[in-house]
């Protein structure tokens, strides 16, 4: 089996929450105006998706919106448990 190719200069690897044997590789390919998202399991690529560079901002907006909503829900849960906000205050 051939070895996995190294990431391009701009790229990263994100480990899956289910375990380190699964990962997402993100690699920029400026020469092709693409971002490649590939799914890996035990160092074997199991699938890939080529995203056009001009679609990247929409993906970033989606991720940012989800993150903001997640923070808002966490804040709302904390406020429901501690409406005075004293749980996050430092003790004197």
List of residues 6+ apart from 28 with CB closer than 8 A: 8, 9, 10, 11, 34, 35
C-alpha–C-alpha distance, residues 81 and 70, integer Å: 17
Task: Write the CB contacts of 91 (distance below 8 Å, at least 6 apart in sequence).
Answer: none
Convert the pLDDT of each residue in 32-65 to its tens digit.
999 999 999 998 999 999 999 999 999 999 999 9
- Mean pLDDT check: name the lowest of 58-62, 66-70, 78-82: 78-82
Model pTM? Answer: 0.69
Confidence of residue 77 (pLDDT cuts 50, 70, 90): confident
* CA-wise closest residue to 11 among 61, 48, 65, 41: 48
Determine the 3-state secondary structure of 70 from DSSP: helix
């Amino acid at each position: 089996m051939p070895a996995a190719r190294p990431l391009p200069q701009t790229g990263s690897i994100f480990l899956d929450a289910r375990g380190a044997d699964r990962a997402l590789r993100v690699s920029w390919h400026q020469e092709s105006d693409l971002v490649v998202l590939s799914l890996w399991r035990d160092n074997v690529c199991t699938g890939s998706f080529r995203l056009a560079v001009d679609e990247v901002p929409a993906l970033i907006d989606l991720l940012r919106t989800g993150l903001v909503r997640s923070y808002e829900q966490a804040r709302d849960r904390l406020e429901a448990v501690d409406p005075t906000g004293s749980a996050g205050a430092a003790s004197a």
